[in-house]
Structure 1
Amino acid sequence: MIIRFIGEQKRDHQEMTRQYRLNIHLSQRENNDDSQTTRDF
């Protein structure tokens, strides 16, 4: 039971890390789009 709990904690942590990286990637891409539109003008 304790081992399963640790396993769930680890999986949740991996999921959170994945979401965190995804959010960073999306925000970086948005920033790039903003700089490109500014450059176009």
Structure 2
Amino acid sequence: MVIILIILFITLLVALSNRSRLKDMEADMEAIKRKLNIAD
């Protein structure tokens, strides 16, 4: 359980230090939401 929290924390730090990657992740999330909406 603790290991999972550490991994999530490191992932957040990497995302915050890499704003361009964060924007790409947001774009991917929007694309996934669109696919889910189409599936529904």
- Provide the TM-score with structure 1 as the length reference: 0.55
**Number of residue equivalences:** 24
Structure 2 unaligned blocks of 5 or more: 1-16
The structure showing larger relative contact order (alpha-carbon pairs under 8 Å, at least 6 residues apart) is 2
SS of residue paired to 2:20: helix
Aligned runs of 1:1-41 on 2, under 5 Å?
Answer: 2-24=18-40
- Provide the TM-score with structure 2 as the length reference: 0.56
For 2:27 and 2:33, how far apart are their aligned partners in 1? Answer: 10
Structure 1 unaligned blocks of 5 or more: 25-41
